[in-house]
Structure 1
Amino acid sequence: MGQATQDICVGVSMALTILSIICVALRLYTRIFIVQNAGKDDYAMVFALLFTVAYLVAIFILRDNGMGFSGKVLELEQMLHQIQATLAIEIVYYLIINAIKISILFFYLRIAAQKRFEYLCKGTIYFLVTFGVVCVILPLHRMWDLTGQVQGHCINTTAFFYTTSAINIIADIWILLLPITTLLKVQRPRREKFALVIIFSLGTFSCIASIVRLYSVGIYTESRDPFFDSVPINVWSMVEINVGILCACIPATKALFSKAQRHRTQNGSYQYHSRERSVMKSHGHGSGKSNSNDNGHEDAAEGPTGTVIRSELYELKDVESGDHQQFGTRKQEDGGGAWRVSDSDLDEQRLVWPESRV
């Protein structure tokens, strides 16, 4: 039975890691060569992938030292190597899982149109960084000391695994729900809005994998023979990690499969800044005429009878470089609501709400 469980663990881990490598490669190709707008979210994902490969290497080390076999048939050296590999996996796992979440949050910051949403994303990033540091147990060599000669002590591993797994699941759900309000406010056709919600909901699969992994954590930490019961937790850890990578990469590769998207400007990392605004009260029936200011930019367009149209020049600020580019005008009907950008080159006429202006 030990050999069979080994084969399952190695097979699943290899297949999923290869899929992750392909997805991250497609993501990087899209961001670097198509939209030419690689950012922090991509770097964080590369970081996660590198350590996922390291996790796979640790799986091979476990296999070569009797993973899935009872400790009764293992040699002392094999058990020592398994404990060392398990410690490495523990550290690598928390680095990976937090890097994936941070990558998703950096992606959210690309589309952040409200300061509140931006602050929530940044606050979550700071929390995850702190959480990742706390998850590293010191002194590290204490865990593979079988003689008890190393000074120092470690926290209760059962409580530690349960607590960190629970926090991880809560963080998954929080990150999954974080952009819902923003998505619901996007003024796009219902079909497109539904597609956006589906794409951002892919993280549900990662949440499910995290919950199943929590069950495997119980099997491992409460086992009388952890060497024998080490396979399920590693299988579900690899599933959780790689499903997270796959789900996080799919939205970033949209331009690769959209011909129209390839020809659009790289505005995903831009923020709007107001230059000036004019207000006009239109009379009679809308004629479709527009007024122009001294700079040649449209100030206001006539709308239906009695409506007030606000129109202002805007510029886009590159979040990465800080460069500014002035593009044209945006409009808002009386009563507030979303500003509609009039420049057709902008991706899907990106909408920004008044409270989000800098």
Structure 2
Amino acid sequence: MSEFVYSNDNLSESEPVSNKPETIWGIVITCIILSWICVCLRLYVRFKIVHAAGWDDLCVVLYLLTITAGSIAICLAVTYGLGKHFLQLESWQYKGFLKTFYVANATYVTSTALIKEALLLQYLRVFDRATFIRRFVVALIVFTALWGFAYSFLAWVPCVPVHDYWSGKSDPYCYGYGSQSPAPLAATFESHAAINMVLDIMVLSIPLPLLFENGTSSSARVRLAALLSMGILVLVFATWRFVTLVEHDVATWPTRDPTWYGPISIILTILEVDAASVCASVPIFWPVLRDMGWGKIFVTKEINITRETRYVDNDQDRLTHGTTNSITGSEMDLGCGGGRGWGKQETHCHESYVLSQVNPFRPSIEQTQTCARSDVPKNSAKKWIKI
């Protein structure tokens, strides 16, 4: 039997901005579109450009699917009374809201674990083997997986059978997120939110040593600083959400009114997980967008670039002796090197590029090299031309 207390004492409260349909729809739709853009750009870089997809990308894909389902459920929940007082809902709205909230809550619990796993698995590409930080990351991956599985089970199976969660049965067998008592329900929501904040702090703190590591390039430090800034924003949303849950004791105080006290927590949920997806994706695709200058896509000028060529006294190479060869600026943009004898350097250049996208925080040790053959015919003196 339900132990919740329903009252109309709060019907005189002014409507918060977070309860308005346009606010809920606007934030949820904007965030999910931004998340799709960032994740798709990340996957494009990993699959099409560097061909170095990993388990972290699988977690991001699963996250995107779950949070999309949750976002759709939240948008539908507005039509079933989200933002209004629970006692003012009709019976069809009551059941519809519980169904959509069931999907939204379960997908949030799963997606927040998946996006953390994606970040932690990304860290495995950064830190060397046999180091304390790497072992710590592995341990945190295992703990996060167990935490996510446990709370996901409570969210996806809150009652036995599951449909008792929204059926309105007088004495359902429910627990955790489906508990019919205020204390267990609040404990489930608040414990998950508290552990979530602690994990956010730990995940955010792991890459901090890279800021002070010798050999870390300035560009890597900038990317790391951007990652930390976005991570702090995620932590702010998670903390704010925890405060709203405690403030109204998970929508059970001063009266049980989940559709009235719930919207602010739901909005912060979307902001938190979508910001985390941006945080996990931007360091992967941003270096590629930054390096894609328009000059490498549209060729407007051709510039002849020359370089010196070493000749020995007995130059018997008929392929170079007395001939001219050139390479234009448009050709230079298409590869790392050109001409005879640069095959090995070209391979090194491509490998370095791939590594920079797989691990966006690796130190930059490569030097840019330009190559072209001289347009000046060789003469008998075989003079050197200094560039």
The aligned residue for residue 294 of structure 1 is: none
* CA displacement at 1:200 relative to structure 2: 3.1
Q: 2:197 aligns with which of 169, 183, 204?
A: 169
The aligned residue for residue 275 of structure 2 is: 243
CA–CA distance in structure 1, aligned partners of residues 114 and 277 of structure 2 = 10
The aligned residue for residue 105 of structure 2 is: 90
| Conserved? CA contact 1:97–1:241, under 8 Å | yes
Higher RCO (C-alpha under 8 Å, 6+ residues apart): 2
Superimposed CA distance per residue, residues 210-253 of structure 1 (whole angstroms, 9 cap, x where no aligned partner): 01111222334334222222211111111111111111111111
| Conserved? CA contact 1:44–1:100, under 8 Å | yes
Structure number having the greater strand percentage: 1
Q: 2:264 aligns with which of 206, 209, 232?
A: 232
Q: 1:124 aligns with which of 130, 136, 140?
A: 140
CA–CA distance in structure 1, aligned partners of residues 280 and 362 of structure 2 = 22
* CA displacement at 1:258 relative to structure 2: 4.0
TM-score for the superposition, normalised by structure 2: 0.64
CA–CA distance in structure 1, aligned partners of residues 70 and 174 of structure 2 = 27
* CA displacement at 1:129 relative to structure 2: 1.3
Question: Given residue 199 of structure 1, which amino acid in structure 2 is its aligned partner?
Answer: A
CA–CA distance in structure 2, aligned partners of residues 226 and 150 of structure 1 = 19
Q: Does the C-alpha gap of structure 1 residues 153 and 193 become closer, same or farther in structure 2, counting only changes over 3 Å?
A: closer
Q: Does the C-alpha gap of structure 1 residues 161 and 153 become closer, same or farther in structure 2, counting only changes over 3 Å?
A: closer
The aligned residue for residue 375 of structure 2 is: none
TM-score for the superposition, normalised by structure 1: 0.69
| Conserved? CA contact 2:24–2:267, under 8 Å | yes
Q: Does the C-alpha gap of structure 1 residues 163 and 256 become closer, same or farther in structure 2, counting only changes over 3 Å?
A: same
CA–CA distance in structure 2, aligned partners of residues 199 and 71 of structure 1 = 42
| Conserved? CA contact 1:2–1:67, under 8 Å | no
The aligned residue for residue 32 of structure 1 is: 47
**1:147 pairs with 2:169:** yes
CA–CA distance in structure 1, aligned partners of residues 224 and 38 of structure 2 = 21
**1:198 pairs with 2:230:** no
| Conserved? CA contact 1:157–1:221, under 8 Å | no
The aligned residue for residue 110 of structure 1 is: 125
Q: 2:66 aligns with which of 51, 67, 70?
A: 51
TM alignment of 1:1-358, pairs within 5 A: 1=15, 5-115=20-130, 116-135=132-151, 136-137=153-154, 138=157, 139=159, 140-151=162-173, 153-154=175-176, 156-189=184-217, 191-192=218-219, 194-201=221-228, 202-218=230-246, 219=248, 220-223=250-253, 224=255, 225-259=257-291, 346=352
CA–CA distance in structure 2, aligned partners of residues 260 and 75 of structure 1 = 55
Question: Given residue 67 of structure 2, which amino acid in structure 1 is its aligned partner?
Answer: T
Count of aligned residue pairs for this structure pair? 271
| Conserved? CA contact 1:45–1:99, under 8 Å | yes
* CA displacement at 1:260 relative to structure 2: 8.5
Unaligned runs of 5+ in 1: 262-326, 329-342, 352-358
Moved more, 83-92 or 101-110: 83-92
| Conserved? CA contact 1:34–1:255, under 8 Å | no
CA–CA distance in structure 2, aligned partners of residues 33 and 20 of structure 1 = 19
RMSD (CA atoms): 2.6
